[in-house]
């Protein structure tokens, strides 16, 4: 049973399997069972996988509970797991007891269509998970989770066109520069009559950044390339990167920018 449940069993399951309450207590004392939550045990050792921790929390909250929010995002593999309490959602009519290490969300909008199972764990659907996590993680992490959900074939129609702000993109690029050891560029700087997003003045390199939802059609496309040509006439190199590239392919972008800046790799 534990092998099918990521190393976790409940007291009720043990009783149904014919294990008495006395035997459960003795197994705990002997170190064969380890109490994770009231009525939920790890079998053999405490070194549970993430899935074991998540399932233990769902089982502890009880019938109708489902893994949700940042925990569900990790189970769906849209973001990496993070340390902290496990998030579980139940119908608003339920009032489960509070448990250490578990955050319970009570929802009036939760329906059977919002629930599924993944790796044997009750979890909110991919679309519901993405909707729930919006506003609870950093914007760049939300975009990453949304992108991963869409790449996996999950559509979230009311969120797929979420707008990215220019200030958010500015912070993303400046953070990228700091992580990769680039000198801080000038921001929104005017160069030979053109305003560029970022300018490395000593190296005469301009960097333009954008998100796909800022694409403004063929005229803007031509204007951008005309500007690049004009800047090259002044011996200024231009590089263009998307927000997704800065997040998902930062090492490749760093190598390309390092070459443009003439910095040793």
Q: What is the pTM of this model?
A: 0.62
Per residue in 43-102, pLDDT (tens digit) is 998 889 999 999 999 999 998 999 999 999 999 999 999 999 999 999 999 988 888 999
Cβ atoms within 10 Å of 53's Cβ, excluding its own: 19
Residue 52: predicted pLDDT: 96
Q: Average model confidence (pLDDT) for the chain?
A: 88
Query: Residue 201 in contact with residue 233, Cβ under 8 Å?
Result: no
First to last CA, the chain: 53
Residue 106: predicted pLDDT: 94
d(CA 265, CA 258): 7
d(CA 176, CA 178): 5
Domains present along the chain, CATH in parentheses:
1-48 (no CATH), 61-162 (no CATH), 166-261 (3.40.960.10)
């Amino acid at each position: 049973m534990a092998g099918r449940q990521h190393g976790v069993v409940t007291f009720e399951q043990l009783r149904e399997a014919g294990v008495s309450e006395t035997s459960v207590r003795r197994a705990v004392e002997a170190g064969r069972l380890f109490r994770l939550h009231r009525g939920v045990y790890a079998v053999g050792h405490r070194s549970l996988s993430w899935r074991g921790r998540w399932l233990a929390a769902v089982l502890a909250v009880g019938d109708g509970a489902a893994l949700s929010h940042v925990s569900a995002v990790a189970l769906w593999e849209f973001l990496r797991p993070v340390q902290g309490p496990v998030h579980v959602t139940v119908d608003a009519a339920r009032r489960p007891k509070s448990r250490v290490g578990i955050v319970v969300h009570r929802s009036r909008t939760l329906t059977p269509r919002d629930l599924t199972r993944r790796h044997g764990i009750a979890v909110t659907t991919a679309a519901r998970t993405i909707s729930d996590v919006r506003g609870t993680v950093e914007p760049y992490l939300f975009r990453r989770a949304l992108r991963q959900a869409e790449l996996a074939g999950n559509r979230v129609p009311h969120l797929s066109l979420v707008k990215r702000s220019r200030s958010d993109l500015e912070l993303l690029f400046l953070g990228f520069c700091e992580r990769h050891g680039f000198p801080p560029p000038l921001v929104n700087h005017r160069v030979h009559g053109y305003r560029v997003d970022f300018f490395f003045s000593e190296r005469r390199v301009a960097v333009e950044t954008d998100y796909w939802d800022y694409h403004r059609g063929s005229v803007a496309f031509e204007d951008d390339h005309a500007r690049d040509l004009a800047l090259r006439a002044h011996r200024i190199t231009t590089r263009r990167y998307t927000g997704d590239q800065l997040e998902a392919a930062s090492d490749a972008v760093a190598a390309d920018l390092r070459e443009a800046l003439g910095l040793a790799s």
